[in-house]
Amino acid sequence: MGEEKTTLGSINISPTAVATIAYQAILQSYGVVGLAPKNFAEGLAQTITKEPSRGVSVHFSGEDIDIDIHIIVEYGTRIASVADSVANAIRFQVEKALGMPVHDVNVHIQGLRVSRDDEASQ
Q: Over pLDDT 70: what percentage of the chain?
A: 78
The structure's pTM equals: 0.77
Q: What is the dihedral of CA 58, 97, 100, 5, to 10 degrees?
A: -100
Rounded to 5 degrees, φ, ψ at 13 are -115, 125
Annotation: CATH topology of 2-117:
Alpha-Beta Plaits (3.30.70)
Residue 1 has pLDDT above 60, yes or no: no
Q: What is the pLDDT of residues 79-110, one digit of tens each?
A: 999 999 999 999 999 999 988 899 999 999 99
Give the pLDDT confidence score for residue 41 in this predicted structure: 53
